[in-house]
Amino acid sequence: MKGIDVSSYQAERYDTTGLDFSFIKITEGVSYTNPKWVGQRKTARSAGLVTGFYHFVRPGRMNGQADYFLSKINLVAGDILILDWEDSEVSNAEKDAWITYVQGRAPAHRVLLYCNRDYWLNRDTTSFAGDGLWIAEYGITPGRPNIEAPWRFHQYTDTPVDTNLGLFADRAALRAWAEGASGG
């Protein structure tokens, strides 16, 4: 399964040819909202893509950041929620607290962790990724992110856009997983 992730660096309308899913940055911290996310969501949904939304976490109150993120979205069945963990000032406990809190606030939605391979292998101490791990590792074969932990998505390049592979047989399997109850 192939997908991309987009942020304010990409246009509201983007090429969805050959894609099965799209992950869209909505928020960062408690003060930034991607001004293009609504249009980017429309592009994904108009193409029938499985859609996910992510929050770039910053140091500070995790519940406040999660509430800020969730306040922006009118969730529909099958929306995937993701914590983007790239700030070295955010601890493992804070990462875990955000994921757990969002799972409690949106129990009908999958909640994932996004991080790069270095964070997963060298910073993460809990191996907690909620309902699945979205791992970034570039310059290797798509679908082989060089980790032993189970993963759901692999971001394997950022050229020309962030491109990902989902570990699902087809779009129907991805959609069924996304629409399933949290925790499985």
- The pLDDT tens digits for 129-160 are 999 999 999 999 999 999 999 999 999 999 99
Where is 175: in which H helix or E strand?
Answer: helix 171-179
- The pLDDT tens digits for 25-58 are 999 999 999 999 999 999 999 999 999 999 999 9
pLDDT at 181: 53
CA distance 102 to 72: 14
- The pLDDT tens digits for 80-109 are 999 999 999 999 999 999 999 999 999 999
Helix 92-105 with 62-72: angle, nearest 10 deg? 40
Where is 21: in which H helix or E strand?
Answer: strand 21-28
- pLDDT at position 163 over 50: yes
- Coil, helix or strand at residue 75: coil
- pLDDT at position 124 over 60: yes
pLDDT at 96: 98
Output the six-digit token pair for 33: 């909202």
Residues ≥6 apart with Cβ < 8 Å to 91:
none
Residues ≥6 apart with Cβ < 8 Å to 89:
58, 59
Instruction: Measure Cα distances from 89 to 23, 59, 81, 93 in Å.
Output: 24, 6, 22, 11
Neighbours of 159 (CB within 10 A): 7
CA distance 73 to 55: 11
